[in-house]
Amino acid sequence: MKAEAKASPRRHSRTEREEHPSGDDRFRMLETSMKKLRYRPDALIEVLHSAQGLFGYLTGDLLLFISHALKLPPSRVYGVATFYHFFTLEPRGRHSCTICLGTACYVKGGGTIVAAVEERTGLKSGATAADGSLTLATARCLGACGIAPAVVFDGEVAGHQTPESTLEKLKTWEAADGES
Ligand code: FES
């Protein structure tokens, strides 16, 4: 009886967490991603990948959000986020381009987008341009599989991307930066 009483509110709290108070849609996508992973605490690294893909870097607020969702102590989430070099707690380039390489995006051409961007910029995933203009990253699943392949441009998720549309977006950034 005691175990049942505990299980019920846990399911409820997950449903209620659909909306982040900030109203930022990326939290909803992250929630979708975590739901797919059944909120497993051992999926922490995968969740952090998704979070960084969506937000560009891991803010304290984001780490707390994940800690609550996966029911892990904040110290554990923070510890893992700082242990692995591919996670960053600081913003990097002026612009960020994160290309999803999760299964749905990969089969729809995510890999060709990465290759095109790497060739165009000379950057590898996880790297920031020497002039600080761009950080390139890849993610495993952004929770937006329905619009695969997905790319996050400066925090905005764009669906149905191609190498051409992605390079076009990078060009608009370059042009805008050149004017300022
Ligand atoms: S695989 Fe899910 S958003 Fe790319």
CA distance 174 to 163: 17
95-179 — its CATH code?
A: 3.40.30.10
Choose one of 142, 147, 151, 161 to mutate for the ligand 1 pocket test, by most ligand atoms within 8 angstroms of C-beta. 142
Cα-to-centroid distance, 73 and ligand 1 (Å): 27
What confidence score (pLDDT) does residue 115 get? Answer: 97
Residue 142 Cβ inside 6 Å of ligand 1? The answer reads yes
Who has greater pLDDT, 1 or 40?
40
Number of other CB atoms surrounding residue 68 within 10 Å: 14
Q: What is the DSSP letter of 128?
A: B
Cα-to-centroid distance, 110 and ligand 1 (Å): 9
CA distance 22 to 7: 28
Residue 141 Cβ inside 6 Å of ligand 1? The answer reads yes
Q: Taking a C-beta distance cutoff of 8 angstroms, is the pair 170, 130 a contact?
A: no
Residue 51 Cβ inside 6 Å of ligand 1? The answer reads no
Q: Average the pLDDT over 8-19 and give the result.
A: 48
Residue 103 Cβ inside 6 Å of ligand 1? The answer reads yes
Residue 48 Cβ inside 6 Å of ligand 1? The answer reads no
Number of other CB atoms surrounding residue 133 within 10 Å: 15
| Predicted TM-score of the model (pTM) | 0.63
Cα-to-centroid distance, 52 and ligand 1 (Å): 14
Ligand 1 atom nearest 144 alpha carbon = 3
What residues contact 154, with CB distance under 8 A and at least 6 apart? 56, 95, 96
pLDDT digits (tens, 9 = 90+) for 158-175: 999 999 999 999 999 999
pLDDT digits (tens, 9 = 90+) for 134-167: 999 999 899 999 999 999 999 899 999 999 999 9
What confidence score (pLDDT) does residue 23 get? Answer: 77
Is the preceding peptide bond at 9 cis, omega within 30 degrees of 0? Answer: no
Q: Predicted confidence band at 19 (pLDDT cuts at 50, 70, 90)?
A: low
CA distance 45 to 56: 15
Tell me whether strands 134-139 and 95-100 are parallel, antiparallel or unpaired: parallel
Q: What is the DSSP string of 34-91?
A: HHHTTT-GGGHHHHHHHHHHHHSS--HHHHHHHHHHHT--HHHHHHHHHHSTT--SS-
